[in-house]
Amino acid sequence: MIDIKLIRENKELVKENIKKKFQDKKLPLVDEVYDLDIKAREAKQEGDNLRALKNEKSALIGKLMREGNKEEAEKVKAEVSGYGDKITALEKEEEELNKKIKEDMMVIPNIMDSSVPIGEDDTKNVENEKFGEPFVPEYEIPYHADICEKLNGLDKESAGRTSGNGFYYLMGDIARLHSAMLSYARDFMIDKGFIYAIPPFMIRSDVVTGVMSFEEMDAMMYKIEGEDLYLIGTSEHSMIGKFQGQIIKEEELPIAMTSYSPCFRKEVGAHGIEERGLYRVHQFEKQEMIVLCKKEEGMDWYNKMWQFTVEFFRSLDIPVRTLECCSGDLADLKVKSCDVEAWSPRQKKYFEVGSCSILGDAQARRLGIRMKTDKGNEYVTTLNNTVLATPRGLIAFLENNYNADGSIRIPEVLRPYMGGKDIIKPN
């Protein structure tokens, strides 16, 4: 949510930002908020004036009573009573106007960074940089589900019976490899100075609407029937929500945390759920990082955070690239975002394994997260980034470490988490 001062002082900037995001249907909201804000402030001013006048007249009643002028005092009392009714009506009007303003403001997108490329959808995203040399071996690399099945590591048929499409059983060395990657990701981020956390896996609706747009919420979140609780789609939701309503001392910033959680997503829409594979599923696990910092430190943290993900995947011998998200592919709360994509030697192309975003003070403004400074309280800047989301990360690992005989090479950094194994062989 942007600062309403932007609409008061430069609504054309807000409109231009909407146009760059190809969301012209939202343009009327800017003028609507502008007009509603004027009415709300006028109602407040009129109410303040009447309250001051009421106080003044109330003091006069006492004076008249002391002077024995009871008849005049009764007239003033009746006048003061009328003020009270008007003040109540104005307070109700102001409350309704501010409620509508907030509803509109929650839909108006955040102001993007000037460096964000302009484009209507993800086909216009821009490659930034490649890390590691993409390699295609002379032998064929099977589909990842087939690799897992040959290693007795995947059972989607049983998961279909217990849970339906979009779920899976991982077993044996594949399940162990999955957990090993997450454990390594955890320790990798702890070594970078991040505080490790395991958050709640369910959050209330006011936290959900504080960390994401309504459109994202409807498309992603599972609601717990009969309760004000949602299953998280990523631990960022819980981790940012942890600071809801808090005033943080300036000297305590930046706060850098890394969190583990299972994640649950509907994955509705055009993409759908993968029938055989593990790329798009309803349930997965993730190691995340979040940062709360001062505004002026935001971009430095943004660049550090995506580089951590690149470094993590390169340590697993997986080539990656970064892709700058264009304006039309940028979620409404985000100022700037880039995807980290892993190389698929089977498909001979890259695919998304993580995303890094800076959100300015949009989440902090919605959730009331501020820092205490000598100049007063200011909203903090929030950032989030994927360290590892698996099984997507597992897919990238299997393809890039697959040998001609069907075995899987285990890089040195993962061996301590695999009981010292340096290879997984088919039974």
Check whether 80 has a pLDDT greater than 80: no
The span from the CA of 102 to the CA of 94, in Å, is 12
The CA–CA distances, whole Å, from 244 to 204, 240, 247 equal 12, 7, 9
pLDDT, one tens digit per residue, over 390-401 is 899 999 999 999
Sign of the Cα torsion 147, 151, 154, 158 reads: positive
Residues of the chain with CATH 3.30.930.10: 122-424
Mean pLDDT of 397-422: 96
Strands ordered across the beta sheet of 222-223 = 202-203, 230-231, 222-223
Instruction: At 118, list the tokens.
Output: 């302009």
> Contact 109/21 with Cβ under 8 angstroms?
yes
| % of the chain with per-residue pLDDT over 70 | 96
Average pLDDT over residues 375-382: 94
Question: What's the pLDDT at 314?
Answer: 97
How confident is the model at residue 124, as a pLDDT?
Answer: 95
pLDDT at 201 over 50: yes
pLDDT at 74: 67
User: Is residue 274 predicted with pLDDT exceeding 70?
Assistant: no
CATH architecture of 4-105: Orthogonal Bundle (1.10)
Torsion of CA 21, 25, 28, 34, to 10 degrees: -40
Q: Return the pLDDT at 271.
A: 55
- pLDDT the model gives residue 143: 94
The mean pLDDT of 101-124, rounded to a whole number, is 95
Which tops the pLDDT comparison, 80 or 233? 233
Q: Hunting for tokens 């055989």 — which residue is that?
A: 276
Tell me the average pLDDT across 335-364. Answer: 96
Mean pLDDT across the stretch 248-264? 96
Pick the closest to residue 307 from 330, 295, 289 (CA basis): 289
Residue 272 has pLDDT above 70, yes or no: no
- pLDDT > 50? residue 270: no
Strands (E), 326-412: 336-344, 349-358, 370-373, 376-379, 381-390, 408-409
**Spatial distance between the Cα atoms of 151 and 281, rounded to a whole number of angstroms:** 21
- Is pLDDT at 427 greater than 90 in this prediction? no
One-character DSSP codes across 235-261: HHHHHHHTTTT-EEEGGG--EEEEEEE
Average pLDDT, the chain: 92
Mapped onto helix, strand or coil, the DSSP state of residue 137 is coil
Confidence of residue 163 (pLDDT cuts 50, 70, 90): very high
Task: Say yes or no to pLDDT of 207 above 70.
Answer: yes
**Residues 243, 248, 252, 253: what is their CA dihedral angle, to the nearest 10 degrees?**
70
Model pLDDT, residue 383: 98
Query: Mean pLDDT, to the nearest integer, of 28-44?
Result: 95
Q: Is the pLDDT of residue 426 over 90?
A: no
What's the rounded mean pLDDT across residues 141-168? Answer: 93
Q: Which CATH number fits domain 122-424: 3.40.710.10, 3.30.930.10, 3.90.1310.10, 3.40.1280.10?
A: 3.30.930.10
pLDDT score at 422: 95
The DSSP code for 140 is P
Looking at residue 268, its pLDDT comes to 58
**Can you tell me the mean pLDDT for 19-29?**
96
Q: Mean pLDDT, to the nearest integer, of 69-95?
A: 80
Q: Which tens digits make up the pLDDT trace of 295-349?
A: 999 999 999 999 999 999 999 999 999 999 999 999 999 999 999 999 999 999 9
What whole-number distance in Å separates Cα of residue 131 and Cα of residue 367?
Answer: 37
Lowest mean pLDDT among 57-61, 170-174, 399-403, 415-419: 57-61
C-alpha 220/C-alpha 197 separation (Å) is 23
Q: Where in the chain is the domain with CATH 1.10.287.40?
A: 4-105
